[in-house]
Amino acid sequence: MNETEFLALVNQHQGIIHKICRLYRDSPQDQEDLFQEVIFKLWKSVPQFRGEAKFSSWMYRVALSTAIAVYRKKKPDIRYMPAVPDSAENQAQPDENREQFFRALKQLNDADKALITLYLEDLSYQEIAEIVGISESNVGVRLNRIKSKIQQLLKK
């Protein structure tokens, strides 16, 4: 795969990387640093891409492993956003809901974050199983547990 092909594929699937970066890093600067690290790891790993899986599935695997490795090296300084004032509540409701959701996701363990991220990308259980390395039925069971955890976290 040449550089032009690589850049086109990364550009096509960059939303995947941005979501993973947002889940594992808090500040925009840290997210951008992680994004750059993921791109670098992808480029270094291109020779190992055998085409047995879809490029996006392979990219998920590399991005998640990079995010988790970087996350473990540098524990995040979790900063919670202040509550939205009542006067702005109606205007900011969709953004606040999204932020609450991401705060809940950040409280999950690494494996659960990876699974729910793949699920939110509308990947099939089969694709998730291939990326994560577990059975399809295990994906379903774990996703149901994760959804319950998220609901509990959002109620807090």
Is residue 62 located within the same domain as residue 128?
A: no
* Two structure tokens written together for 90: 């109606």
Q: Same domain for 136 and 67?
A: no
If phi over 0 gives left and psi between -120 and 50 gives alpha, with beta otherwise, what is residue 79? beta
- Token pair 């939205």 is at which residue? 84
CATH number of the domain to which 102 belongs: 1.10.10.10
As a whole number, mean pLDDT of residues 50-55 equals 82
Residue 133 and residue 139: Cα distance in Å, rounded?
10
DSSP H stretches of helix in the chain: 3-12, 14-24, 28-45, 55-73, 86-106, 110-120, 125-132, 136-155
Residue (of 76, 79, 153) closest to 110 by Cα position:
76
Whether the predicted pLDDT of 88 surpasses 80: no
CB 111 within 8 A of CB 118: no
User: Mean pLDDT over residues 99-106, rounded?
Assistant: 84
Residue where a domain stops, chosen among 78, 105, 140: 78
Please tell me the pTM assigned to this model. Answer: 0.57
Work out the percent of the chain whose per-residue pLDDT is above 90. Answer: 14
Domain boundary among 25, 49, 78: 78
d(CA 41, CA 46): 9
Q: Which of 54, 78, 102 is the last residue of a domain?
A: 78
Q: Which domain holds residue 133?
A: 91-156
| Residue pLDDT, tens place only, 59-69 | 888 888 888 77
Does the structure show a pLDDT above 80 at 150? yes
Which residue is associated with the tokens 């790993």? Answer: 45
Q: Are 77 and 29 in contact (CB under 8 A)?
A: no
Q: Domain count for the chain, please give it.
A: 2
Q: 63 and 112, same structural domain?
A: no
Judge contact between 18 and 60, C-beta under 8 A. Answer: no
Question: In terms of domains, do 4 and 72 share one?
Answer: yes
* Best CA proximity match to 23, nearest among 140, 90, 117: 117
pLDDT band at 145 (very low <50, low <70, confident <90, very high): very high
The model's pLDDT over 7-19, given as tens digits with 9 standing for 90+, comes to 898 899 888 888 8
1 and 60 together in one domain:
yes
Q: Does one domain contain both 59 and 15?
A: yes
What is the distance, to the nearest Å, from the Cα of residue 75 to the centroid of all Cα atoms in its chain?
16
Task: Supply the mean pLDDT for the chain.
Answer: 80
Confidence of residue 84 (pLDDT cuts 50, 70, 90): very low
